[in-house]
Amino acid sequence: MRSLRATPPILVLFVLVALLVVITIITREISGHADFLVERQIVLLVWLAGLLIAGVVFAWFVRRAMRRDASRSRLLLMVLTVLLLASPLSLSLLQHPAP
Amino acid sequence: MDMLLSRAVAALLTLSGLLTLGYIGISSYIAEELVYEAPKAIVKTPASLGLAFANVSFPSRNDHINLKGWFIPGVLPDGRLTADRVIVTIHGTRTNREDPGAHLLELTAALARNGFGVLSFDMRGMGESPAAPLSMGNLEQRDVLGAVDFLRSGRLPLPELGRPRMIGGLGVSMGAASLLMAAAGEPGIQAVVSDSAYAEIVPILEREIAKRSVAPIGRIPGVLAPSALVMAQLLYGVDFFAARPVATVARIAPRPLLLIHGTADDYVPITNFYALNTAATSVPGEHVTTWIVPNARHAQAFKKTGTEYVTRVVAFFDAALGAAA
C-alpha cells in the first residue's frame, strides 16, 4: 500500500488512460447489442463517469506526491506529467488558433 | 525555493488536468450530438404523384441493418410498367427518402415516368430505417450496396416485371458521397449521377461544428472540432475521416459518371466538385460528364432547373444503361 501511494502521477496517468480505453471498449461491446438510441447515451454516460473518477484518482495521487519530499528528479517527472496532460489541448490549439 | 517550485508544478498540474478533463468531456458530448439526428417522418408517397409503388425492406451489406424503402416501377411510353433499368436514389443527410429540401421524390417520379424503375430508401438512422450512427457516408455506403444486393438477389415486389438488367445510382449531397464510395468498389452500379457531393467531409464538419450550438454549452468553439471527431471514432466507431469520396472516385472508371454542382453552394463549396472531377478524370478510360448549375445553392440544382435537370439525367442514363427492353 505504501509503494502504491508513492507511485509517480505519470504512471498513474498511463494506467488511467489505459483503463478508460478498456472501459470504453467493453461498454461499446456490451451496448452494441442494444438499440443505438440507448447505446449512444450509455456509452457517453459511462465514459464521462469514468473520466470523472479518473480525474479524482489522479488528483489524489498528485496530492500524495506533492506532500512527499520534492527531489529534483521527482519535480522533473511532475513537469513531464504536466506536459503530457496538456498535450491534447495544446495540439488542438496549435492546429486551430482562436480567431 | 524547492517548495515554491513544487507548488507551482502542482498548480500547473491541477490546471492542465482540469482543462484536459473538461476538453475531453465536452468533446465527447459534441461527438454524441454529431452521430445522431432524430429521424424525420415521411409525409408524401409516390402515390401522391400518381405512381404505383410497393413498400420494400432489405438489409445493408455487411452489417445487415433492415432498411425501408419504395420500389417504383418505371412507366414506358405505352403505359406498361418496367423494372428493366432501375435507378437507386439516395437522399442527403438529416432527411429521408422523400428529401423535400432537394425535391427528391419529385425527381424520382420524373425518372419513373421516363421508363426507369426506382429504388428509393431511407439510409440508416433516417426516415423509417432503424436508428444507427450517422457517419456522413462511411457506413452509409453499405446501405447503397445493400440496395444493389436487393435488386440483384432480393425478393422484389412485382416479380412479373423480372429482375433489373441494368442498375444506376443517383445521389444528392451525403447520398452522392455514399454512392460515389459504394460505386468505387461495386461494378454492379453501372452509371452514377452525383449531385452536390463533397470530396471529403472533415473540413466541412470542422466548419459546421463551430457554427452549431449545443445545450448547455452554447456556441461550440472551433478548437473542439478535431477532438469531437476523434471522440466520435473512439466512442461510437464513426470514422468521419474515412468519408473521402475523392480518394476512391477514380475507381468508378470506365463506368459513366455525371457530376453536378451549383455555383452558389455554400454548404459544400464548388471546390469539392473540382477536386472530385480532377480525381475522377485522372485515370485513362474515364467517362466523366460535368454540369455546373449557375446560382444553384446546395442540392438545389433540380429545383433551379426542373425540366432541364430531368432531360440531362435521363439522357445520361439512357446513354449509359441503354434503352428499356
Per-residue pLDDT of chain A (99 residues; tens, 9 = 90+): 566 666 777 888 888 888 888 888 887 777 766 667 667 888 888 889 988 998 888 888 877 777 766 677 777 777 888 888 777 777 766 665 443
Tell me if A36 sits within 8 A of B135, measured CB to CB. no
CA nearest neighbour of B201 among B262, B245, B256 = B245
pTM listed for this prediction: 0.88
> CA–CA separation, B199 vs B69, rounded Å?
27
Q: How far is CA B268 from CA B174, B207, B261, B271, in A?
A: 10, 11, 9, 8
Say what the pLDDT of residue A6 is.
66
Least Cα distance to B24 among A29, A63, A67, A58 occurs for A58
Nearest Cα residue in chain A from B134: A36
CB contact under 8 A, A92 and B223: yes
Say yes or no for a CB contact (<8 Å) between B13 and A9: yes
B155-177 residue pLDDT tens: 999 999 999 999 999 999 999 99
Q: What pLDDT, on a 0 to 100 scale, did the predictor assign at position A70? A: 65
Residues in chain B: 325
CA B78, distance to chain mean position in Å, is 34
| Cβ distance of A66 and B36 shorter than 8 Å | no
pLDDT tens, B295-306?
Answer: 999 999 999 999
Of B3, B23, B32, Cβ closest to residue A40: B32
What number of C-beta contacts closer than 8 Å exist between A and B?
A: 101
Least Cα separation, residue A5 to chain B (angstroms): 17
Residue A16 Cα, gap to closest chain B Cα (Å): 12
Phi, psi of B121 (to 5 degrees): -140, 165
Nearest chain A residue to B37 by CA: give it. A37
- Cell representation of residue B292: 455546373
CA-closest candidate to residue B108, choices B125, B86, B126, B130: B86
Nearest chain A Cα distance for residue B46, angstroms: 29
Q: Is B133's CB within 8 Å of A81's CB?
A: no
C-beta atoms of A44 and B237 within 8 A: no
* 3-class state of residue B59 by DSSP: strand
CA distance A21 to B235: 9
Write down the pLDDT at residue B15.
85
Give, for all 325 residues of chain B, the pLDDT tens digit: 567 777 788 788 888 888 888 888 888 888 888 898 889 999 999 999 999 999 999 999 999 999 999 999 999 999 999 999 999 999 999 999 999 999 999 999 999 999 999 999 999 999 999 999 999 999 999 999 999 999 999 999 999 999 999 999 999 999 999 999 999 999 999 999 999 999 999 999 988 888 877 666 677 777 788 888 988 988 888 999 999 999 999 999 999 999 999 999 999 999 999 999 999 999 999 999 999 999 999 999 999 999 999 999 999 999 999 987 6
Which of A10, A26, A30, A43 best tests the B interface by mutation, with the highest count of B CBs <10 A? A43
Give pLDDT, residue A99: 38
For an interface test with B, which of A82, A84, A91 has the most B Cβ atoms less than 10 Å from its Cβ? A82
ipTM: 0.78
CB contact under 8 A, B9 and A75: yes
- Give how far B204 is from chain A: nearest CA, Å: 14
- How many whole angstroms from its chain centre is CA B144? 9
Write the residue in B20, B125, B224 that is nearest to A86 by C-beta. Answer: B20
Omega within 30 of 0 (cis) for the link into B256: no
Residue whose C-alpha is closest to residue B236's, from B155, B124, B108: B124
Q: Which residue of A has its CA nearest to B131?
A: A36
- Residue A85's closest CA among B8, B28, B23, B3? B23
User: Measured between beta carbons, which residues in chain A are less than 8 angstroms from residue B222?
Assistant: 96, 98-99
- Reported in sequence order, the residue ranges of chain B that DSSP labels E, i.e. its strands, are 54-59, 66-72, 74-75, 81-82, 85-90, 117-121, 166-172, 191-195, 213-214, 218-219, 256-262, 287-293
Give the Cα separation of B69 and B147 in Å (integer): 9
pLDDT (0 to 100) of residue A60: 84
Q: Does the distance separating the beta carbons of B235 and A44 come in below 8 Å?
A: yes
Tell me the C-alpha distance between A53 and A39, whole Å.
Answer: 21
pLDDT tens sequence across A63-77: 777 776 667 777 777
Give me the pLDDT at residue B151, please. 97
Q: CA-to-CA distance for A95 and B10, rounded, in angstroms?
A: 27
Separation in Å, CA B198 to CA B14, B60, B202, B279, B309: 42, 22, 10, 13, 20
Question: What is the structure's pLDDT at A96?
Answer: 58
Cα(B23)–Cα(B33) distance, integer angstroms: 16
A24–B234 CB contact, under 8 Å: yes
